[in-house]
Each structure stands twice: as C-alpha cells, then as structure tokens.
Structure 1
Amino acid sequence: MSGTGFEGRGVVVTGAGSGIGRATALRFAEEGANVLVADLNRETAQQTVEAVRTAGGVARAVVGDLGEQRVVDEIVATAMDAYGGLDVLVNNAGIMDRMSALADTEDAEWERVIRVNLTAPFMLTRAALPHMLARGRGAIVFTASEAGLRGSAAGAAYTAAKHGIVGLTKSLAVMYRNKGIRANAIAPGATSTNIRVDAEATAHGPSVIGSHVGLSGRVADAAEQAAAILFLASDAAGNINGAVLPVDNGWSAV
C-alpha cells in the first residue's frame, strides 16, 4: 500500500465493467479499498470483480440500470451493508451520443444520453450523500469530459450532459464543503475505452466536430484517467474541492 488513505474504505465505482471504470476499481483495490462494482453488464461487472479478487482485493458487483431508483438504492445499501460505509463515490458510467447537431438530435438520443450521463449520477449522489454526511466525510469524483469544457468535442446531448456534470460538481462543492464532503471531476480527452460512437460521418454534427477532435493529441490509457480519479479521491487532495481536472495531454489548452 502507498498510504493514500483508502485501506478498508468503501468505494463505489459506476461503469466499472470496462474502460476507465474497471481501471479505477482495480486501482482502488490495489490501495486496500473495498470496491463495489456497478455496471449495466453482468458479465463484464463480474470480470472486474474477479480481477480485483485475483489481485487480492475485495469487491462485489451490483448490476442494473443506474437510471432506476431501485438499482441506485441497491448500490448504496450493498456498500453500507457489506463495507460498513460509503467513503468514495466515483460517478463514471456514461455513453456517447451520435455527435448530432442540435437540429438533428432526436428526442430518444437526447433523453437517453441525459438520463445515463447526468440524471443517473445525480440520483446516485443524492442517495449516497446522507450516509457521507452522517459520517462527516466523503469524496465524490465525476467523470466529466472535454465536452464539458468546450462545444467542439461531441454532439449537443453529450455536451449538455457533461456541462451539467461540471455544474453539478461545483454545486456540490459549494453546498457541502463545510460538511466534510469534497466533489471533483476529471475531464478526459481522447481515451482508449470500449465506448463506440454510432455517428454518420456525413451528418452535419460529425462533419463539423471531426476537424476539432483532431486537436485532441495522443490517446490516453484508461489507467491514466484512473490515476487522476484516485488522486482526487485521496487524502492528498484534501483541500481540493470543486475542481475539474483535464486529463487530456493539453487539449484544453489548445
């Protein structure tokens, strides 16, 4: 252990079946945390649990749609019952849009992206907060995006959702900073994950976005994003609250 303060702490990571979520779950487990893997896919969630256990860590999974209150309640109740507390919440689960420009965004695309990327993190954070407040401490880390810092990294729905995550992070930091709660976010640039974009290259949105995304630079490994999440949740970041940390090889500076 490296003394990051996670030994024995209860950590929930959403979207932990793959990509940034899986890398994050593994990193927390390496630091001695008890990890709850939350994911929509049962098979990949169990694979993450098995990877954690193989490495000598503690993990269990809750499978379901985070947009459903019963799943949210199960996640929080399981963490509390199994680990005796919920110290860290990583709201990482998310989906991409079709890079659609606003005029081309259908209701179904908008509603699905907003529900998964913004409403679900809101619901889970709302459910976790009373337990954190009762203990007088808690760290919440969101996976935002470069699309939460600019208008040229995704379509209308994803951009709106990730800007919403940035606002949610800052609101939490202000509202609960005197209650022992910290809320921060990472804003990943291009990262190697299994998320795919179902976009028509000739549509207006993708044709415009394409030239801007080319400025993103090298593609990060999911472990690099996980390292930033781990830091923001750690005691070493104890006075960092309301920050949105770009992990993007300087894309946000271009």
Structure 2
Amino acid sequence: MSELEPVSQLGRDGMAAGTAGCLGRSSGWIAAIRRLLQQFGSAQRPGSSSFQGLPLVIEGQQVGLVGPAVARELQAFPDVFVEVAGRLELRGGRCPKERTEAVAKVLAQLRAEGCLVRLARWRDEAYEVRPSFGAPALLNVERAAAPLLGILQFGAHLNAFVHRQDDGTGSRQMLMWLARRSPHKATYPGLLDNLVKEAVSSGSFKPNCALVVIDFLFRHGLLHPDQEPLYPELMAVMHQSL
C-alpha cells in the first residue's frame, strides 16, 4: 500500500505548513529526532558492541564485528571460528563456496537449538559478505544472521516525489510517495518505508528509511543549518564511518 504525503508533514509535529523556505521546529520534533540520533549513534558510545565486540576477520580482512554473547556461541565451533589475539577468525573453508557452506552449518545448528533469537527471523536469503563496497565477496550468509556478525550491509533506497499546484494559493506543494511494509515482514513490519516512508519524527518509519528522508529534506533545502538546531548532529550521524 502506498501513501502520498505532503513533504511539509513528514515531521508533522514540528514543521510549518507549506514547503517554501525552511521548516519550523517544535520541542516534539527535536525530542523525536534526538531519539533517532541516539539510536544510530549508540555504536560509537562506550559500552556498545563497537567497544566490546571482536572483529570478524577473513584472510586478514575485517568483515564484521561480533558482540560477546554471539562470539561465545560461535567459538563452540572451533573448526570454523577461532579467537586469536582479540579477533574472531573465520577458518572454515579456503574459498567463498567452502566458507559459505561451513558458516551455514553453524548457523543452522544455532537456529535449531534456539541459541540466538534473531535467527528466528530466518529468510532463506543469501547476503554477500565483503570487506568494503565493491570488493569481491568472501562468502554468503543468511541475511537474518548479518546483524549478529556485525557485517557491513549495503542497500538501495528510492525516494519518489511530485510537485502539485495549489489552485487556491497558486503555490506549489511537494508530496512524497511512501510505502508501508507488509505486516508479515520479518523486520519492521507495518512501518513506513521508502518507495519499494506521522512521519519521520513519530516512530512510524523504519529507522534507516527515516534517515534517507531526512537526507532528502537536506538536499532539497527544506532543512537549513541556520534554522535547524540539530543540523550538525544529523549530518554527523549520516556520515559517520562504519
């Protein structure tokens, strides 16, 4: 199901009517966006997985970051995963095909035993694991396991929008097409998404899609550094190194 929402209402709690010029802010908008920033900035704070996790390494290249609880489960399979000098090395297999098969067996057993809750969201969807964007894939893993392994994930987002003439005022209004995710999706069921997203500040958006819409507002001049107090924080969280 798709919805056509005025861009001026994507932060309905704090945005001024219309799309001309910059958008006003209320305390509601600021509080909601701060929660979003905290969610995406949590990995950079002490006590987070980025401070406690073990780098997941294949052939000397880091491809992920595994939290302590998951690392303990994986180390029960020493023919595949071995901790060496503060790193978790994947040694099961000498080529992508062999590694894929070895890791698949481990994940299947952990899923069958109910050891890791996230594996209950199993999708039967292979996800390529790469050390960096554009690099050759070193193996494939079940998509539901990618967050458990702290694997860098890439995705494509599409925003669709139209301009509509307001016959009453003569001004043009920008509207964005949003999609609502199926209630049967394994992740973020029923939430607003980009075109296959009251709005950004309300918690109704899939979190990473909310950032994509905010980036859209930046690029179209609807969020301005002189009028948006959270502008520096928003820019920082959207361009942080992973």
Bin the TM-score by the shorter chain.
under 0.3
Bigger Rg, structure 1 or 2: 2
Select the structure that is richer in strand.
Answer: 2
Higher helix share: 1
